[in-house]
Copies of this chain bind each other. A is one copy, B any other.
């Protein structure tokens, strides 16, 4: 009963992008970095993760429309919409996969037709996601200054 690292990595990537974006908007920064995009390599060195795994997560985030990716030299990716519009429930549900939290088949449970459990667990799951729906990427960036420092000091 734990989120996949895959999902976890996706959230870290979004946090990284959120911090970069906020920084780029600071006065005096508009042209200094020429809006350089974040690359998979940046993420991997910052968080010390496997290139291949991050590769897949980035691709997934792209397909979900959460980030815009650009191929080719000087390519990379950035948030596709404002951090305030990226809801945590959506991100986690999509990356995690939206299966039932309890398995009634495989093996098939004879009690299934008269079982009250699956409904209770399913409702609990929805409450969990309903709670997450109150938060957006913005809420993950409260300690933005500290995050920026962490991200910029990791070589």
Contact = CB atoms under 8 A, between A and B. Distances in A.
Interface of A: 1-5, 8, 11-12, 15, 46-49, 88, 96-97, 99-103, 107, 109-111, 113-117, 120-121, 123-125, 127-128, 131-132, 135, 139-143, 146-147, 150-151, 154
Contacts of A111: 12, 15, 47, 147, 150-151
Given A15-B115, A15-B117, 17 more contacts: A1-B2, A1-B101, A8-B102, A8-B109, A12-B111, A46-B110, A47-B110, A111-B147, A111-B151, A113-B150, A114-B143, A114-B146, A114-B147, A115-B140, A116-B141, A120-B135, A128-B128
Contacts of A151: 110-111
Contact of A3 (B46, B47, B102, B114): B102
B116 A3 contact: no
A142 to B, nearest CB: 6
Contacts of A8: 102-103, 109
A2 B151 CA distance: 33
Contacts of A101: 1-3
A142 B110 CA distance: 16
A123 B131 contact: yes
A110 B27 CA distance: 27
A2 B154 contact: no
Contacts of A15: 111, 115, 117
A151 B111 CA distance: 8
A47 B112 CA distance: 11
